[in-house]
Structure 1
């Protein structure tokens, strides 16, 4: 008795059995929805970045410093902010090894539009910082808008 050989199954069928069927591609509608969602997320992110920087910005610029004696440093600087809001600036005095020898936080209140320049946005300030040893430099470390107390 002889048996007839079974016809060989095509390679694609055996590969599909082993590895699974062919993957379906995304439909045009699904691709469109993904593209619209990505664009909406990008626009929302750009809006958030542009509004967060515009609403809470305080900048400062060191003008100069002096050290009248071994226990005092004076710092002159400009602050640019919205005239209607208050700000705080941290000023530090440094010794020859860049160690902090004096530190002070200055409160800068709201000001009128005719104070300073640029419509009241930029004002000049001078602060005296007591030092524990002679300072060779004094700078503004940072300025920020304080959180509103309720």
Structure 2
């Protein structure tokens, strides 16, 4: 009788653990990979639908009372969004503001979700920059 097989050792430390069979190891790895793939697909698709993003593309100060803001909005095809545009002077004071509504549009692929716009903004004084301050979805 060896030291590891004695009743005292098994009572004290419990029975020796059984090792996984090669088939069980293989199915554990396959299951873990399948779960990781499913999670990646879930996060990728979940983040691309129902999301509204916007970014400034450019601006043009046309006169003391007019400017235009170029911007990109990415949204679902059937969604309607509104965006707040601001024209600011050199001290970052807002000299012009406008809310624009962006309605549903046609498209077939994920790349078609993005649209480029140029909107005119009336100003009280000459501005030096134009930005998209915020966008939100309408119910």
Q: Which residue of 2 aligns with 1:139?
A: 131
In structure 1, C-alpha distance between the alignment counterparts of 2:85 and 2:102, rounded to whole Å: 12
Q: Which residue of 2 aligns with 1:7?
A: none
User: Quick one: which of 86, 95, 111 aligns to 2:89?
Assistant: 95
Q: Which residue of 2 aligns with 1:73?
A: 67
> How far has the Cα of 1:91 moved from its partner?
0.3
Aligned residues: 96
Q: Which residue of 1 aligns with 2:105?
A: 111
- Hey, which bits of structure 1, 4+ residues long, moved more than 3 A? 50-56
Task: Say if 1:111 and 1:120, in contact at 8 Å, map to a contact too.
Answer: no
> How far has the Cα of 1:56 moved from its partner?
4.0
* SS of structure 2 residue aligned to 1:82: coil
Q: Which residue of 1 aligns with 2:77?
A: 83
Q: Which consecutive unaligned segments of at least 5 residues does structure 2 have?
A: 1-42
* SS of structure 2 residue aligned to 1:120: helix
In structure 2, C-alpha distance between the alignment counterparts of 1:52 and 1:132, rounded to whole Å: 43
User: Rg larger in 1 or in 2?
Assistant: 1
In structure 2, C-alpha distance between the alignment counterparts of 1:70 and 1:54, rounded to whole Å: 40
> How far has the Cα of 1:54 moved from its partner?
6.0
> How far has the Cα of 1:131 moved from its partner?
0.3
> How far has the Cα of 1:84 moved from its partner?
1.2
Q: TM-score, normalised by structure 1?
A: 0.58
> Superposed, which structure 2 residues align to 1:8-27 within 5 Å?
none
- CA RMSD of the aligned region, Å? 2.1
User: Relative to 1, partners in 2 of residues 1:54 and 1:113: Cα closer, same or farther, differing over 3 Å?
Assistant: closer
**1:60 aligned to 2:51?**
no
In structure 1, C-alpha distance between the alignment counterparts of 2:122 and 2:103, rounded to whole Å: 22
Q: TM-score, normalised by structure 2?
A: 0.63
**1:125 aligned to 2:117?**
yes
* SS of structure 1 residue aligned to 2:90: coil
Q: Which consecutive unaligned segments of at least 5 residues does structure 1 have?
A: 1-49
